[in-house]
Structure 1
């Protein structure tokens, strides 16, 4: 069974989605790629995924130029949520041999190992660039925004300290966030109150780990032994997610709330995770049909100019489940990015 009978449509859509990300969106927080934070970070990670699928050298050159142009901003943004752009540095170093990419990555990796704030369980505290503090809070977002970088740095350097920490963080996040009843993840965990706060089964939170876990496991394969508990929890999570998929192929912004709006970025991330995990043998062919339906649902949300619609805005752990349904939707690099990762994975086969 194939994901689509018309790969040329996927190519066209991917080119449009990627092209929209590279346009001048100066001053638009959601779409401006020329700043240093998680939003452009997801954008450049996704473009690297797309490059690895089609090997268009001009796209790699754009990533190299982006990193050189914007690296100076990173020193003022040393928080967990702004680690995301560094995830492309190992690939940039392999391409260029430029020591700035290696040296910077190692310096940031050492900061993460030895200085980044942690909760009492040892998980990375989810620190952000905004003027907000979330003391001893664990968010699913951290796996994609920071732990993926550590895994890639471990692959680049051969230093098992990075890969071991990536595995440890993945295990901690899964164990702290997983709903034992349904298998899916809550958005966050408060280590002080010892609860999941509003206990929202937020779709995009699940997406960060759905797609981030196979990306991380692929990087650390052969470097450190795998973790059976991580695999068990991940499989349970992915199977649990299938129970909440809607007839349109998407997941609602809070997946167990039938009246909430469908959300494109989280749905794209979950579908990409299904395809990646299946390709790696973590999941079987039974996920192809749900992934195909999700892909069709996401494709319907891509506008003619490449803009991905139906993407909820930046979302902290909200005080109530109902509050998630009031987050406005607008185009963003993370919506474009998760969609581009899905399209790249679908094109890969």
Structure 2
């Protein structure tokens, strides 16, 4: 391993593990998508580097915060459960297997769906987005379902993970460019502001190869799914800017460059190549993004240039007004990118 990259990964992780009470973007001690993406990335880091102390950190986090998972089930509260499969393998504690099974059953049988049978994107905040499909859902909930499919050997869970990923691509993919719009409104049958938001693309760029890695051998993977993913990634690369990053809305080069989406896309390219989903000719794009993201890691491990969380906004221009500040998902996507360059993905 490259010693400098090891040090960078350690700094990013150490920044994540500190206490940030009351800071929405950095407080790990909640049960929601922001800390959920963070701890999912930390568990990935611990597993792939063999650092048992990192996995013990995730175990301690889960035990401290488990009580907070008892609230209402929504899509954005599913992603913290993505650490349950690695924690089961780390501890052998049947609780993680049983809880994963119960939540997967809820997703299959009770989670709100749109008329196209996609999971409706639901959030922990006091807000509703009826019949809306967001790219975010694939990472926030479908990844957990795929991991539970592997953990339990369930072909049903695996088939649902494939179906949800495909439906999201079908509804969100831009026919002209191949990239994804942030969301789809099933009631109005349109993409709302039609923003080709970079982080929306990152959630599926990284999520899809992770999902397929988990479910191979459990269910059939339709060629349409992999064909759409390849076209999506080839389209994304065409919007990469000269500095190696992507603008926060990828087809608006006049908008600010955004780190978390760029890191997620670059990591997706690396893992997509290793899963045999993408041609190795896309590797230079990942290399350029990787170098650019490295330049946005401060000396203390803080990842700079991370756009705040957002629903599907009313206009494309509104995305350029979202402030940047440090977040666990920005740290996490960067840590996963670093890990892709540090370790062999298994």
TM-score range, shorter chain: over 0.9
1:16 maps to: 11
Kept in 1, the 8 Å contact 2:101–2:148? The answer is: yes
Of 91, 113, 121 in structure 1, the residue corresponding to residue 116 of structure 2 is 121
Of 42, 47, 54 in structure 1, the residue corresponding to residue 49 of structure 2 is 54
Distance 1:127 1:53 in 2: 31
Distance 1:326 1:200 in 2: 14
Kept in 2, the 8 Å contact 1:90–1:153? The answer is: yes
Classify the secondary structure of the residue corresponding to 1:325: helix
Q: Deviations over 1:244-266 (max 9, x none)?
A: 00111000000001110000000
Classify the secondary structure of the residue corresponding to 2:321: coil
Distance 1:285 1:84 in 2: 30
**Structure 2 spans left out of the alignment, 5+ residues:** none
Alignment TM-score, normalising by the size of structure 2: 0.98
Classify the secondary structure of the residue corresponding to 1:199: coil
Q: Deviations over 1:233-279 (max 9, x none)?
A: 00000000011001110000000011100000000000000000111
Distance 1:94 1:53 in 2: 13
1:69 maps to: 64
Kept in 2, the 8 Å contact 1:37–1:77? The answer is: no
Classify the secondary structure of the residue corresponding to 1:286: helix
Kept in 2, the 8 Å contact 1:36–1:77? The answer is: no
**Structure 1 spans left out of the alignment, 5+ residues:** 1-5
Of 316, 320, 327 in structure 2, the residue corresponding to residue 325 of structure 1 is 320
Kept in 2, the 8 Å contact 1:313–1:329? The answer is: yes
Of 183, 199, 222 in structure 1, the residue corresponding to residue 217 of structure 2 is 222
Are 2:237 and 1:233 aligned?
no
**Which residues in structure 2 correspond to 1:69-148 (within 5 Å)?**
69-148=64-143
Residue 163 of structure 1 and its aligned partner are, at CA, apart by 0.6
**Which residues in structure 2 correspond to 1:178-257 (within 5 Å)?**
178-257=173-252
Classify the secondary structure of the residue corresponding to 2:184: strand
Distance 2:87 2:296 in 1: 31
Residue 77 of structure 1 and its aligned partner are, at CA, apart by 4.1
Residue 52 of structure 1 and its aligned partner are, at CA, apart by 2.1
Of 316, 327, 337 in structure 2, the residue corresponding to residue 342 of structure 1 is 337
Alignment TM-score, normalising by the size of structure 1: 0.97
Q: How many residues align?
A: 344
2:268 maps to: 273
